[in-house]
Structure 1
Amino acid sequence: MVDFSIFLHLKSLSFLSLPYLNTRSTVDMSLFSHLKSLDCLDLSGNTLKISSTLYLPPLIYTTLTLSSCNISEFPKFLQNQTRLIYLDISANQIKGHVPEWLWSLPILRYLNISQNSFTGFEGSTDIIQKSAKTMLDISSNLFHDLPLLPSSMMFFSASDNLFSGEIPRGICELLILDTLVLSNNNFSGSVPQCFNTFNTTLSILHLHNNSLSGVFWAESVSDHLRSLDLGNNQFSGELPKSLINCTQLEFLNVEKNKFRDKFPSWLRLLPNLQILVLRSNEFYGPIYSHGDSFSFPKLRIFDISNNLFTGVLPSAYFSGWNAMSSVVDFVDNTPIRFAGSGTGYYHKSVGLTNKGLSMELVGSVLTMYKTVDVSGNIFEGDMPESISLLKELIVLNMSNNAFTGHIPPSLVNLTNLQSLDLSQNQLSGKIPPELGKLTFLARMNFSHNMLEGPIPQGTQIQSQDSSSFAENPWLCGAPLQETCGGGEEKEEGEEKEEEDQVLSWIAAAIGYIPGVVCGFSISHILISYKHAWFMRIFHSFA
């Protein structure tokens, strides 16, 4: 239990932050009506009691954060808070329409009403357009119609709603827009060819998981882009080479589209690129040509799986990938600051497969993962020895290709590796026993290759299911049922038994033949002696 009355005598208190107190106490908002000097109040994560008739005189609130407070109705007391600059009432259970008077608060700049159940806006959307908002987050609601936005808008997030139709061209007229997030809706048609023409400040453009199609034109690319997410749409054509002008680009995700192009090796020229996801498109051909640089110095996630890439990866291909070779700290939050107090953050996200499971990495978790996924292509030749340089790698997936040769024992250098998939290739030789030393390696898959010999007995390897080693004709040992050397020993035993039998017969024969000869000799002597005796007797009678 928390006694909030202890704050009532602090008449000059200007900053009060009490988020997530982990108490069953219900906080009555009327308690704070006496704190007329409050400049910032944060009660997030606590259960609030807000009477529908509650009236609070205009306070000095410039920042009010009431996120995750079990609020079910839009707080009416806010109508008089004319000094409010920053308002966050996200992650509550508020339904219905956003009240019209909210847009009339004269200096309100930041408004976060995300993660509620709003379905629309009261009054005309012109009221919103005429307001002076700079940051608006209406994501994760039930909105159907995109409102007209004020020209002062810098940050707009409307992901996870029910929007459909084409993206309004009016967005291009927001000349100082920095962040536009429209992911997880049902927008269709093409992207307006105007972001670069009219808007020169756009740095975050996320259109993930819609029904957008056509060519993503170079005119849609702002040179200031830091994060571009076009994943899970129906874009076609080539990847716009104008991205080479986006020297600040850190995040590029075009997964699950219909892009048909050669590998964009020119992306190596982007000095800040950290995440590159080309998964599930129609990219084709080799990913390396003579004279190309190997270096992707800041790349942490490299996913080109399920395309049509071919050729041999040079032994030194992964040299110069410094961010995967050593511990490098990255901050993935994208702060948008504005006059007054408060900061808005948008977290990037990306999906990947780890330990055989699909997962989504969001925000700070995304900065921890370092992965290489080249599965589902037509690569051949030896696995590049330079993979062993990527000491911070967590996921390595090279399955479903045509790699040959042996598994490099140097993979033991990947001491942070958690998932290794080399299945469905043409790898030969033995599984390096050194892999048993990788203590974090929770999942590995060597199935459908031409590996041979005993499976190493290390704890990490033996903990795998037998399916991880299946369809290797000459592989043996636990957890497979095929025992190593058992058949050979049996064969040798049978052969030895047969040899012993032959030797016994030979010995018997050797023993038998002299006996027979000796028998015949004795018999002949006896018969001769007997004949002579009879003859002597016969002559005596005669």
Structure 2
Amino acid sequence: MRGNITQITSLDLSSNSFGGQIPWDSLNPEKQTFLDLSYNNFEGQLPQICSNSTRKTFLCDSSESDKLVGPLPLNLKSLSLYGNLLNGTLPAWLYSLPSLQDLYLSHNQFTGHICEFQYNALETLGLSSNKLEGHIPRSIFQQVNLRWIDLSSNNLSGVIHLEQFSRLKKLKSLSLSFNSLSVDSVNSITYVLPNTLRYLQLSSCNITGFPYSLRSLKNLRYLDLSNNRIDGSVPQWLWNVGKDSLWNLNISHNLLTHIGKIPSKSLEYISLCSNKLQGHLPIPPPSTSLFSISNNQLVGVISSFFCNLTWIEVLDLSNNSLSGNIPPCFGKGSYWLRNLKLNGNQLEGPLPQSLVNCELLEILDVGNNKLNGSFPHWLESLPELQVLILRSNRLFGPLSNPKVRFPFQKLRIMDISNNNFTGTLPTKYFENFVAMIDAHSERLEYMGERDVGESYYSVTVVIKGFDRELVKIQKLFITIDFSSNSFTGEIPIVIGKLNSLKDLHFSHNKLSGLIPPSLGNLSNLEWLDLSSNELFGNIPLQLAAELYQLQILNLSDNKLEGPIPRGRQFETFNNDSYSENVGLCGFPLSKSCSNDGAQHDQGGDDDGDHNNGMIDWKVVMMGYGSGMVIGISIGLLVLFSRSFNYWFHKRFGGGRCRKTSARLRRRRRSN
């Protein structure tokens, strides 16, 4: 961006891809009244004040103290640099602009203190998501025209009395969340907060009780008191705050123990999760779009009244002690349902097939319950399903062939571990996991971030052997976990096409056959666990050569044999990765490989050719000194012996290898 913009007084260049330093010398600050450069990639510091030889005050480039930028922008009314990469301290001239009404500097990397404003013209002040520290300046409480204040997500400290904001009679929005502040919530009736207040966000402000001054807020729409230290019961008067206007209430992550009946009102978003709530599950109003009450101590059954939530999008009842069956009407009228989490309860019975009506469902997490019945194949027809977690239940039987033509095309996380599923692995499902192939994104994207917020799209998965809660689900996190079941047969070759997989778990089953060399195509794989099965043969060379991202490998407790491949990530794995495979040898095991064993092809090709049909020519040449004929005879005898042993193992030890047998017959005829 270059050129001398001398006559323009209002300039909006927001939401572009401009980068580098802001060309202040081209903007003519003296005449600017409105300047919006937000949502770009500008970096560096804001200009500082300096004086020239005539002792007049000018702006100078912060990186070159002798480079004049221009006169002070004394007429500036609105400055927006929101969402850039700017750093350094806020310059002194910002606090001395007599006409400045709107200041938006959020989502940058500014440091230092907020100084005192010299004039009282401010109407909006946005400094959130920076690295600012120190106390909130007193001059902010003298800005009588302030309508909007956002100082959240900084390192601000000190004690704030809500009474200080009672002087700002025009205030509509106040956010002090996620600092090191302590908001004094003394229940006093000597002051009231402005009745104009619509949005109040005091998350993580060390509040110990519900502020009494909230009672005066008849027009409040949004109240966030989460992540504080409020204990005891939810007072009944809280439901009268913003009686006809409050649509979002977040009192999660506190120490609350009891909640009465939630009145039928205009509430749409209700978050009560991560408290110590006891008793039976409260029923939200019919207008609710989001209801989160996970991580509490609630008991009893899920009432059929939940079937009346026709506008529900996110329903999270996980990690309580709820029991009984899931109501069979569940989902019949909830066409907007996108996220259903019932994980970590004591729920029994089958998963209700009425959920098939929820065509927008993206996340279904019913893991860690006592659900029984066969695999709910009707889930295949849900076109938006991306996360399916059925782990640790009492489900059983085979995963039959798909009932629809293109099942599970958007699925990215599938965890059916710790059940009693049987039969072979569902090859037809793997063939249709389109979202697990060539997944990519230009930026880190999270589920729900453009809708209800990514913090409401969380899920618990096994990562590196431990249960981990993904508080936000990254769209590139792709995993399959079929471990701890009773699956039999071979690992399908088609798995190798799912090249965006991060984690693959087939451990603790009854799988047999060779490890498919096609798994080497999983170039994004970070964790591979095939332990505690009946796999045999060599470890494919392709795994060592191509799995650059592999951090954890577990092939223990199988029937693998031959030398362990060397190279890349395989140099980092210890004995535990290969234990209980008596036929394996080589690093890192103490058992060394013989010269003969080291010549085996380590894995074969994709069609199962164990030795690629090659004669062991070192054995042949052993007979060179005593005659070529004897050497060749010994070599052919060794080849025939190995081929017969391999055929016998495949024929009677868990799998056929017709292609290999046919090749050997052709070679014998040719010889």
- Which TM bucket (shorter chain)? 0.7 to 0.9
The match for 2:401 is 289
The answer to whether the 8 Å contact 2:330/2:355 transfers is no
The match for 1:515 is none
The answer to whether the 8 Å contact 2:151/2:175 transfers is yes
Cα shift at 1:381: 3.1
RMSD: 3.2
The match for 2:256 is 118
Alpha carbons of structure 1 residues 464 and 112: separation in structure 2 relative to 1, 3 Å? same
Match of 2:413 among 301, 312, 322: 301
Cα shift at 1:3: 4.5
- One-letter code of the match for 1:83? N
1:391-415 Cα shifts (integer Å, max 9, x gaps): 1101011122333332222222211
Task: Report SS of the residue matched to 1:368.
Answer: coil
Cα shift at 1:299: 0.6
Alpha carbons of structure 1 residues 383 and 93: separation in structure 2 relative to 1, 3 Å? same
Paired with 2:462 and 2:492, the residues of 1 have a C-alpha distance of: 22
The match for 2:468 is 359
The match for 2:613 is none
Cα shift at 1:41: 0.9
The answer to whether the 8 Å contact 2:278/2:298 transfers is yes
Alpha carbons of structure 1 residues 135 and 229: separation in structure 2 relative to 1, 3 Å? closer
Identity across the alignment (%): 41
Deviates more, 1:299-308 or 1:163-172: 163-172
The match for 1:463 is 572
- Is residue 413 from structure 1 mapped to residue 521 from structure 2 by the alignment? yes
Which runs of structure 2 are paired with 1:4-403 in the superposition (5 Å)?
4-46=137-179, 47-50=181-184, 52=186, 53=188, 55-105=191-241, 106=243, 107-120=245-258, 125=260, 128-129=262-263, 131-145=265-279, 149-150=284-285, 152-168=287-303, 171=306, 176-195=311-330, 200=333, 202=334, 223-289=335-401, 293=405, 295-313=407-425, 318-327=430-439, 331-333=446-448, 347-365=456-474, 367-403=475-511
The match for 1:441 is 550
Q: How many residues align?
A: 456
The answer to whether the 8 Å contact 2:346/2:369 transfers is yes
Cα shift at 1:153: 4.1
The match for 2:663 is none
Task: Report SS of the residue matched to 1:37.
Answer: coil
Paired with 1:171 and 1:334, the residues of 2 have a C-alpha distance of: 25
Paired with 1:88 and 1:304, the residues of 2 have a C-alpha distance of: 36
The match for 1:473 is 582
Paired with 2:227 and 2:233, the residues of 1 have a C-alpha distance of: 16
Cα shift at 1:274: 0.8
The answer to whether the 8 Å contact 1:441/1:460 transfers is yes
Cα shift at 1:196: 5.4
Paired with 1:266 and 1:247, the residues of 2 have a C-alpha distance of: 12
The answer to whether the 8 Å contact 1:139/1:159 transfers is yes
Cα shift at 1:416: 1.2
1:267-303 Cα shifts (integer Å, max 9, x gaps): 2222111112222334444324388746421110122
The answer to whether the 8 Å contact 2:315/2:340 transfers is no
The answer to whether the 8 Å contact 1:48/1:69 transfers is yes
Paired with 2:416 and 2:238, the residues of 1 have a C-alpha distance of: 46
Paired with 1:472 and 1:196, the residues of 2 have a C-alpha distance of: 48
Task: Report SS of the residue matched to 1:310.
Answer: strand
1:183-226 Cα shifts (integer Å, max 9, x gaps): 222233344455557xx2x3xxxxxxxxxxxxxxxxxxxx4432
Deviates more, 1:258-267 or 1:460-469: 258-267
Alpha carbons of structure 1 residues 352 and 113: separation in structure 2 relative to 1, 3 Å? closer
TM-score in terms of structure 2 length? 0.61
Cα shift at 1:371: 0.7
Task: Report SS of the residue matched to 2:155.
Answer: coil
The match for 1:528 is none
TM-score in terms of structure 1 length? 0.75
Cα shift at 1:328: 5.1
Q: Which runs of 5+ in 1 are unaligned?
A: 203-222, 337-342, 490-495, 497-542
Structure with the greater alpha carbon radius of gyration: 1
